[in-house]
Amino acid sequence: MNVYLVRHGQSLGNLQNLHQWPGAPLSPKGREQAKILAKRLTNIPIDIIYTSPLVRAKQTAEIISKELKLPIRYWKNLKERKRPTELEGLPIDNPEAKEIENQITENWLKGNWKYSDDESFENFKKRGQEIVKNLLIKHREQNVLCVSHGAITKMIVCATIFGEKLTPEVFWEFNNHTWDENTGITHLEFTDKYGWSLLTWNDTTHL
């Protein structure tokens, strides 16, 4: 099985340096990025397209779907990690936003800690593991494209590499020492002999 994890194109939130919100659409540049990505994906065998239902991912997947002539399947588990509602739409450098982020950082290692209605590490980890499990059960012999977001891409990768050994500390280090650009392609492969392998991280050579 080959799994291609693709981050959405540039959103208005990315463009304006704001904390993302569920309805944030693609920017004009993001739409162009998605079109370029879609052309690139015509050279990769894809059997199924899954997408996060959040607008920026959905719009990216729709552009890809049109180019590849494949239907889209919506998968809520591919949504980005839920951040506190209080952050949504705030500028990254807003003092209130920085204070919330500081509290999240200070309490991250507690695993189950939440600021308000956000998603704890443990719940996020469980969601990533469910994605990996379902891919193995349903698509073991197929090539799957998942259009999603930065943090959930990292969680899926960590779930394949570390499994139950994944801790808040490990994810924190991985998250803060890797970066995925808009429309970057991350390629995971699963074989019965070797299990999961990370073959490509954040390939943006199409841009």
Catalytic residues: 8, 80
Asked if residue 141 lies in contact with residue 1, where contact means CB atoms within 8 angstroms, the answer is yes
- Name the helix (H) or strand (E) containing 7: strand 2-7
User: CB-hemisphere CA count at 13 Å for 132?
Assistant: 25
- Other beta carbons less than 10 A from residue 54's beta carbon: 22
d(CA 128, CA 62): 23
Instruction: Please tell me whether residue 196 adopts helix, strand or coil conformation.
Output: strand
The angle subtended at Cα 75 by Cα 156 and Cα 36, nearest 5°, is 75
d(CA 191, CA 184): 23
Taken as a whole, the chain contains a residue count of 207
Among residues 185, 205, 190, 194, the alpha carbon closest in space to that of 6 is found at 185
Q: Is 148 exposed, middle or buried (0-12, 13-18, 19+ CB in 10 A)?
A: buried
